[in-house]
């Protein structure tokens, strides 16, 4: 510390050379700012961890990994277990007719269907409909409809804004085994569902394809 008047070195409150009172300097340490961790920045379009909104997603793998979704599909499958399938009915028929004709009915159908398909016999129907519900909710509605009607999912094709499902339609008392192809696509603020039901090997299905599509779209409306 130095005197402001004469510049001499000062150790106390007064200058030893000129007697001028010297003001004491503050000995307090400066207050350091408390460090603050910057808030994490989430990438655009990515939900924070633990807050995945499956209803807004069109990603099949991500949506079906959610426990709530799996429970819904499981309940739908259990509700449809009480129905008598075509395969089960044919097993009952075989137990009666095989001793008489020597060949199970199921074998006859398996042989006849590919032959008829090569001859060009085919029955198919398609339907398009838009829903105001988000794509994830519509996707779950479709999966629940397939599970409740015994349609076995065979393939999934994923795209950035759409998902295509291919499922096997089980045979029933009037029709052979068929297939259903269902596209679920984000369409602006709505969701588009495009479904095609095909049964190879026969020209008429007595309304089976139409009923399948009716049940599918009814289930989606209820889920939405």
pLDDT in the model for residue 62: 93
β-pairing verdict for 122-131 and 178-187: unpaired
Q: Domains plus CATH for the chain?
A: 55-223 (3.30.160.110)
Give the burial class of 132: count Cβ atoms within 10 A of its Cβ; 0-12 exposed, 13-18 middle, 19 or more buried. Answer: exposed
Tokens of 122: 């085919």
Contact 31, 45 (CB under 8 A): no
Give me the long-range contacts of 96-103 (CB less than 8 A, separation at least 24).
none
Which parts of the chain register pLDDT below 50? Answer: 26-28, 42-49, 84-86, 89-90, 92-94, 96-98, 100-105, 107-109, 111-113, 115-117, 119-121
pTM: 0.62
DSSP characters over 66-92:
SHHHHHHHHHHHHHTTTS--HHHHHHH
Q: Distance between CA 223 and CA 221 in Å, rounded?
A: 5
- Choose among 223, 216, 205, 206: nearest CA to 180: 216
Share of the chain above pLDDT 70, in %: 57
pLDDT in the model for residue 134: 95
Give me the residues paired with residue 181 across strands: 166, 196
Max alpha carbon distance in the chain (Å)? 137
DSSP, res 174:
S
DSSP, res 14:
B
Q: Distance between CA 193 and CA 130 in Å, rounded?
A: 6
């Amino acid at each position: 510390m130095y005197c402001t008047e004469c510049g001499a070195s000062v150790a106390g409150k007064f200058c030893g050379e000129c007697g001028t009172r010297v003001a004491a300097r503050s000995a307090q340490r400066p207050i350091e700012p408390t460090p603050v961790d910057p808030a994490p920045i989430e990438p655009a379009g990515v939900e924070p961890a633990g807050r995945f909104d499956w209803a807004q997603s069109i990603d099949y793998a991500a949506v079906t990994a959610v426990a709530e979704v799996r429970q819904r599909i499981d309940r739908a499958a259990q509700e449809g277990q009480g129905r008598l399938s075509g395969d089960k009915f044919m097993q009952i028929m075989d137990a009666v007719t095989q001793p008489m004709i020597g060949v199970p009915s199921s074998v006859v159908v398996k042989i006849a269907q590919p032959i008829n398909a090569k001859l060009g016999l085919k029955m198919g129907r398609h339907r398009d409909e838009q829903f105001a519900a988000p794509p994830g909710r519509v996707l779950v509605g479709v999966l629940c409809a397939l599970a409740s009607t015994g349609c076995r999912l065979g393939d999934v094709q994923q795209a950035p804004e759409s998902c295509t499902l291919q499922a096997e339609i089980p045979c029933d008392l009037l029709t052979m085994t068929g297939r259903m192809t269902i596209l679920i696509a984000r369409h602006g603020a709505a969701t588009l569902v495009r479904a095609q039901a095909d049964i190879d090997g026969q020209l008429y299905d007595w309304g089976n394809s139409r009923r399948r599509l009716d049940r599918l779209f009814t289930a989606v409306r209820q889920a939405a």
